[in-house]
Structure 1
Amino acid sequence: MNRTGPLCAAAVLLLAVATPAAAAPEPPAQWKTRTHAALAVTPTFGNGVFRVSVQQAQGLGVGSFTVRTGPDHPAGAGRDLLFGGGVPGTSFMTVRDLTTGADYVQGQYLTTSTEIALDDLGPYTEAIGTTGFHTNWYTVLGSGLMEIDQYVTVHGSTVADSSVEVTTTITGTSTDTFQVQYLWDTAAGTDDGPVLQTGAYNPFGATATREVTLSGVDSVALADNDGGPSLSYGLTGTGPARITPPPTPPQSIQFVCWPRAVGAAPGRYRTDPAIDVATTGAGCPGSAGPDSAVQYLFAAAPIGTSGVRASASLFSTAPDPTSVTVAPARLGSPAVSATLTDTRYGRGVPGRTLTFGAGGRTLCTGVTNANGVAACGGLTEGLAALLGYSAAYAGDGIWAASAGKR
């Protein structure tokens, strides 16, 4: 959305009399804590799967945002996918003017004299129905007008088709060359240091726990690792093909330590495979332990009058399907048992609770072992189950609900 007239004239006057100065650096952990605790104006929108909050308070990073699960998400409502507990501030966009060397930063953490807070450019914000939010900034450069528009939009209505699209466009008359970077402070529930996989999430697959730079990948997945996984989600790369509109392929995707990466200029951060961001936090001391993040860097391009589009989507797929196979009852201990299987991978699911019942009442509950087998009960439960019993798994954000009977 273009703004003209007195507003534009005021912006030109502002630039003529003052150049925004960089704030004094402070420890990232302290800044993150302060941002999270701030009483900010944060409109919330989305659908039943994703709820997005966007910052509107000037001085706190207008347009920065965070994402949580909604009431229809299988992992339950109110779980972080990006850090913040519903208060944005640590996931944001930076635009680098490669011609002048200036960095236009959406967040609050300014570390060098070349950085300019986008908050100082008089941002304009507007809701787009109940599923989107638009933020606009513009300024006059030596070579002409630069206008930045960010759109955060929630698409879909089910777990399988919902996504959060973040699109940044740069338009205007400037002939400078620009580059867009996103730094997303990933979380998975209360785990601020989730692990990463490339491609769709596989709960039995190997995970990355250290910094790494990726290129050309279709997508990446994040999941909590404080105990058994309970929440996973995906971030786009060159795909996946089912995401609409399709994402712009990034130049690189970096899995990084948020406190180390937050102050780096676009394209300047170098990942270090010795830095653990998801387990011990060695080399990455977040405010509450390991603190991983995902950083997108998009290809540089001149805007001319055609614009540059950079986007990425936070998406979700349905939990893995499961089955429950019930064994014959025994007049001993354990009396009842069943196996919970991930039918996508043909593997037993560990660490999940099965509820056993017969005759309309619960007999007992058991937790699955490494092979997916849960067992419980003694003689009393065995007698009650002789004529038939059932076992049920309630489901969560990783594995879907299922039940079996005998």
Structure 2
Amino acid sequence: MDEFLLVYIENLMCFSLFFVNFSRKKHFTARFITSVGLGAGGVCLIGRLLSVSNLLVFVYYLLEFCMLLAIFHFCFQTGWEQALGCASAGRATQHLIYQILQIISLRFDPSAYLDPNSWMYFAGALLSYLPFCLAVYLIFSRRIGAFNIDFETMEFRFGLGLLSAVMVLICVGITRLVKSGGVRSESTIIAESLYAIICCLLCLVMQFELYQKAKLTKEIEMVRMLWKKDSKQLAERKDTIELINMKCHDIRHKLEDYHLPITDDEEKELKDLIRIYDQTYRTGSQTLDVLLADRALLCEKDHIQLSFLGDGSCLKFLTEADVYSLLGNALGNAVEAARRVEEEKRQISMIIRNSGDLVSISVTNYYQGQLHFEEDLPVTTQPDTEDFHGYGMKSMQAIAGKYGGKLKVKAENGVFKLTIWLIDSSRQPA
């Protein structure tokens, strides 16, 4: 069998590890089979033409890399920069596995038992890649694929491009220089292979860290935008709730002063409607009063019972924006969940307690369906993340951490309970 074809298929296997998490383009099967088939013919032909010198073989492997990059970009919904990052990781994986197998072959050489040109040898070589591919997928590629990176920042794009170029240079360029050195001793081969293995592992770890850093940077920026949006909403809600309360107060007194020609039932219904909009909370926190009054209107519309117990004055060490963002997101998520359950279970309970310098906030509601967790936080069920969906929990977690506290979520038997602990540093002894 052709050595170039074997390496080509090995690269296909390793590249696939980093592209499998992306969406496929229309007519994927036809695209993939056609492009891979043409590529296989190309590597066999071009490989023979360029195998006359190490320099030309180096050029060949660069061409092969570019061809595989184009194939996967043609078949999967990725940008070129995204495809380059995944392709370089795939090439580093192939080189990593190749070097590991080269060390193993020093003690157990399959060519001593099988003809290197036979199909059995070819199939065995590919099968030997499978356990290593699985390990790389579980450790690196599966987690990298979960990062939703938009490649907007120039720093990330430059870093990924530079790292990708280094990875390809290590896997293609340095390898050709080493192989041009002629016959080498066993200890030299082991040292060279270990060096290549360490370099490939470092490159994969660096790429993973680069993606993780970009993900965290995006999350921080989204949370900051969410806080800014919440601050603006707080100012608007204050004015709205105050105006509604004033109007409802006037209407209620006018009903008492004037005897309108309506029945008792109609008068009662009208007063009940006014009461809905005239609810005034006295929790001890003006921001919490505004928030509860605003959420109560939403709850009334969807027949959700909202109850509050506790003392909001113990939240005075928080800024108004933090109170609104923290509890607003908690109640917002609870309202969304309550809307999806049967009416008798549409209940939301908020309890605020304090003991010394420790303040606890718990929000409990029913939910239905299956919740999925990531890093101990529930993943958003909203299909559209453009409107900050999925960042509310991260925002609450960040605010809790800001005040030395933490956030815990418990969901079982159809009951969702969010608990937030905060530390009031003003109550701590000096």
> Higher strand proportion, which one?
1
Scaled to the shorter chain, the TM-score interval is: under 0.3
